[in-house]
Every structure is written in structure tokens, then in C-alpha cells.
């Protein structure tokens, strides 16, 4: 049976100052942190991973009141309270180069369909706003068919959609390119309107591949909004490095460090030598990658860390290199440094190293989420959300004999 589209302004009973959200695939809670900075409050959170809940609970004392550890496919609509926004940073494993490219039918990324099923079950209670987040590879997965089907599913629930791409490096010293989609339940512009304005929307946040996707899919109900320029980052990698003493167990011994350096190509080894000859400390990061069947240590020295990842098989464990004053030292990034790279300064980390790396590697960048809330979600609610008094009046009118 066809579902009746939900409309913003007919499902809310909150004031602008009480905007609430349900956080699906909540992980350790960085989506919450980003939204709370812009006036939102969490009413429900869910993730399948107990280890991530443990990290969430260590930082948020109220976790047990709203966080449910469960498979999204096994949730029911009556467990989800009425909210203004549903967020979904669903698993990227099957959409990224690091996975098998199984797409939205893969064993983990198919959790998206569990989320869509829940929204459908909520009927008239489903939130007027949805925010998706995933890797940029979502756009090209299975030739774009996965992204197309994901957006059409939202259209089928009465939402219009607006995708954009943001690199966290505009906010923090970490290269982390992510694809976001805001879905909203209000009037739908025609495909012609979108096509005529496409050149205007092709920009930093809607690069050519995304703009081309929009142009080639008039079957999708779009609603693209103007957004301000992204900020210019003010921090470098050196600014987030934790001041550990040389005797700290985090630092590797000379043999292990020398082995890392020996895995560098001549070009990267030369860049490290320039750092070593410096009169002060400078910092870079290293990932180990397999090139032509050989493990190589690739050094990055532009003041930006590589994308934080989950340490599956050791490949996601990013290494910090400190060089200068005639010496070279190396160690893994600390949980505190990972938190800072995600814009989550002050996050309470009470977990073993690998658990912390998993938690941050799967999370969202806090200031990116705050920017989206400030420049997109909050203004959208100001434009389309009905005040409490109007909702109460409308309800009374419907209930009158």
C-alpha cells in the first residue's frame, strides 16, 4: 500500500529550541556531540556494537536512558519516539574500496534497508528530517545504482533529497571525505528546476561527479539548497599531538622505528630526512600499504593526517612520526589524538587502544556535523517547522466534531 508523504509542520510538537533527534548507527556518540553544539537533543540512539556503547556510556552518563544496543533490522517502530530528525551513519564496509564492494545488499551496509523499513513503519510519526552520512564511494557503488535506490527509497517515504560532499580537512587536520544527504518532507521542485540550476549547484560541496549524478537522475525528487562556503582550517597536525614524554610506552623502540623507515620509498625516505635535519620537531603520519605485493610505509607531511580507519588486520592503524634535532621517533596515534582529529576534544576515552581506534574510525567528524546543523538543518526548521501553538491548534481542528 502506498504510504502518504509526511509533511513538515504536521508532525512536530516541539519549539525551535527543543529540536530532537534519533541517532541510528550512533557508535560512540560523535553525531550527538556535533548536533548538541547547535541546540539539538537526543531522544533515542541505537547501534549493534556493545564496545561502542561502552565508549558512549563512558562519555555520556545518560546513555542507558535512550541508547539501545540491537540490530537495526530487529527494531520496531514503537521503540522510536517522535523526533524532528533521524540520523543514519550506516556501515560503509560494503561501499568502500576497503570492502568487497557488495554495495547496499552487502552483509553490513544493507543495514540501510533496516533503517528505511523503520521509517516506513513509523507512518505519520516518522521525522520530517533525515541526515545520512557515508563514504564518498557510496556515490559510485555499483555504477551509482546503490545511491539511486537509496534516494528513491527516501522519495517513496515522502522525502525530497539533497546530497553534498564535505572533507573534514576544512575543519580539522584530517583528510576525511564524506557524502551527506539531507532528506526533508516538504514541497518538491520539478526536475526541470533542478536541471536549469545545476551549474549553480556544481561547487566545492557538489563536485562534478555528484552534479553529474543529479543531472542524470531526474527520476529522483531533489531539493537542492544554497550553502555558504566551507571554513578554512586553522589547525595543523602538530596542534593536536599529545605531549607524551620520550619514556612513554607509546613510543616505539629504535629497532621497530628503523624497520618502519626501511619500508619507505626513496621519495618518502628523503622527505623524512629533511624533517630529521630540522632544528625543531615536525610531524607526519604513515599508513602501511601493499604496493606491487610489497608492504610500503607511505609518509604524509602536509600537516594533515590521513583518514582515521578501523584497525582491521592492522592496516588501519595510523602511525605518527616525529622527526627533527637529528632524530626520528614513531608510535601509533593515541585515543586523545584521534578524538582531536575528529573535532571531539575532551571526549572521555576509557577503553583499550584498539577499541578506541575502532570507535573513532567509524565515527563522524564533530565540527562537520555542527556546520551542517547550523547552516542547513536549523534554518530548514526555521522555515518549515510549525510552532507548538500552531500544531496544537491544527490538532484541535482535526479532532473537532
Most confident of 141-145, 291-295, 325-329, 354-358: 325-329
pLDDT bucket at 165, cuts 50 / 70 / 90: very high
The pTM score is 0.89
Q: What pLDDT, on the 0 to 100 scale, is given for residue 226?
A: 87
Kindly report, residue by residue over 262-315, the tens digit of the pLDDT: 999 999 999 999 999 999 999 999 999 888 889 999 999 999 999 998 876 545
Region 15-40 average pLDDT: 91
Share of the chain above pLDDT 70, in %: 82
Instruction: For the chain, give every domain's residue range.
Output: 16-233+360-399, 243-333
Region 138-164 average pLDDT: 93
Q: Which three cell numbers stand for residue 341?
A: 582529529
Q: What pLDDT, on the 0 to 100 scale, is given for residue 312?
A: 64
Region 349-369 average pLDDT: 94
pLDDT bucket at 125, cuts 50 / 70 / 90: very high
Residues 6+ apart with CB under 8 A from 260: 252, 286, 297, 319, 321, 330
Helices (DSSP H) in 60-110: which residue ranges?
63-66
CATH number of 16-233+360-399: 3.40.50.150
pLDDT bucket at 197, cuts 50 / 70 / 90: low
Strand (E) or helix (H) holding 266: helix 266-276
Q: Which three cell numbers stand for residue 105?
A: 545488499
Q: What pLDDT, on the 0 to 100 scale, is given for residue 11?
A: 39
Asked if the model's pLDDT at residue 390 lies above 70, the reply is no
Kindly report, residue by residue over 102-118, the tens digit of the pLDDT: 555 655 567 899 999 99
pLDDT bucket at 396, cuts 50 / 70 / 90: very low
CA dist 377 to 45, 89, 133, 185, 212, Å? Answer: 19, 16, 14, 13, 25
Q: What pLDDT, on the 0 to 100 scale, is given for residue 193?
A: 57
Question: What DSSP state is assigned to residue 137?
Answer: G
Q: Which three cell numbers stand for residue 214?
A: 543529479
Q: What pLDDT, on the 0 to 100 scale, is given for residue 4?
A: 43
| Chain-centre distance for alpha carbon 164 | 12
Q: Which three cell numbers stand for residue 205?
A: 560541496
Residues 6+ apart with CB under 8 A from 49: 27, 69
Region 159-170 average pLDDT: 97
Higher local confidence (pLDDT), 199 or 27: 27
Kindly report, residue by residue over 59-96, the tens digit of the pLDDT: 999 999 999 999 999 999 999 999 999 999 987 655 55
Q: How far apart are CA 372 and CA 203, in angstroms?
A: 16
Q: Which among 385, 342, 380 has a CA at the least distance from the CA of 29?
A: 342
Q: What pLDDT, on the 0 to 100 scale, is given for residue 1?
A: 36
On whether the CB atoms of residues 176 and 373 are closer than 8 A, the answer is no
pLDDT bucket at 141, cuts 50 / 70 / 90: confident
pLDDT bucket at 389, cuts 50 / 70 / 90: very low
Mean pLDDT over each residue of the chain, to the nearest integer: 87
Amino acid at each position: 500500500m502506498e504510504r502518504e508523504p509526511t509533511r513538515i509542520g504536521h508532525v512536530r510538537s516541539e519549539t525551535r529550541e527543543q529540536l530532537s533527534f534519533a541517532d541510528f548507527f550512533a557508535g560512540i556518540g560523535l553525531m550527538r556531540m556535533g548536533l548538541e553544539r547547535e541546540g539539538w537533543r537526543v531522544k533515542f540512539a541505537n547501534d549493534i556494537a556493545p564496545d561502542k556503547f561502552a565508549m558512549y556510556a563512558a562519555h555520556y552518563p545518560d546513555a542507558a536512558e535512550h541508547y539501545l544496543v540491537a540490530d537495526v533490522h530487529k527494531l520496531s517502530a514503537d521503540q522510536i519516539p517522535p523526533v524532528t530528525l533521524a540520523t543514519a551513519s550506516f556501515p560503509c564496509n560494503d561501499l568502500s574500496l576497503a570492502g568487497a564492494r557488495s554495495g547496499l545488499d552487502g552483509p553490513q551496509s544493507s543495514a540501510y534497508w533496516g533503517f528505511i523499513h523503520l521509517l516506513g513503519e513509523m507512518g505519520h510519526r516518522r521525522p520530517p528530517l533525515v541526515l545520512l552520512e557515508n563514504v564518498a564511494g557510496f556515490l559510485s557503488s555499483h555504477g551509482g545504482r546503490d545511491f539511486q535506490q537509496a534516494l528513491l527509497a527516501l522519495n517513496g517515504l515522502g522525502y525530497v533529497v539533497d546530497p553534498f560532499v564535505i572533507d573534514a580537512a576544512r575543519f580539522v587536520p584530517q583528510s576525511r571525505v564524506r557524502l551527506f544527504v539531507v532528506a526533508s518532507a516538504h514541497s518538491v521542485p520539478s526536475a526541470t528546476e533542478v536541471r536549469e540550476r545545476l551549474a549553480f549547484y556544481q561547487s566545492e560541496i557538489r563536485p562534478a561527479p555528484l552534479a553529474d549524478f543529479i543531472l542524470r537522475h531526474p527520476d529522483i525528487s531533489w531539493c537542492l539548497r544554497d550553502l555558504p562556503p566551507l571554513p578554512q582550517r586553522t589547525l595543523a597536525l602538530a596542534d593536536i599531538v599529545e605531549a607524551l614524554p620520550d619514556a612513554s610506552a607509546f613510543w616505539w623502540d629504535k629497532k621497530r622505528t628503523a624497520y618502519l623507515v626501511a619500508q619507505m620509498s626513496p621519495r618518502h625516505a628523503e622527505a623524512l630526512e629533511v624533517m630529521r635535519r630540522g632544528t625543531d620537531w615536525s610531524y607526519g603520519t604513515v599508513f602501511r600499504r601493499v604496493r606491487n605485493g610489497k608492504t610500503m610505509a607511505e609518509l604524509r607531511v602536509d600537516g594533515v593526517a590521513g583518514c582515521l580507519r578501523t584497525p582491521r588486520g592492522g592496516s588501519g592503524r595510523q602511525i605518527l612520526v616525529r622527526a627533527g634535532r637529528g632524530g626520528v621517533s614513531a608510535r601509533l596515534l593515541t585515543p586523545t589524538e584521534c578524538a582531536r582529529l575528529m573535532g571531539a576534544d575532551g571526549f572521555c576515552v576509557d577503553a583499550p587502544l584498539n577499541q578506541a581506534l575502532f570507535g573513532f574510525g567509524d565515527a563522524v567528524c564533530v565540527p562537520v556535523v555542527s556546520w551542517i546543523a547550523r547552516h542547513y538543518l536549523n534554518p530548514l526548521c526555521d522555515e518549515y517547522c510549525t510552532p507548538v501553538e500552531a500544531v496544537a491548534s491544527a490538532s484541535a481542528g482535526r479532532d473537532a466534531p
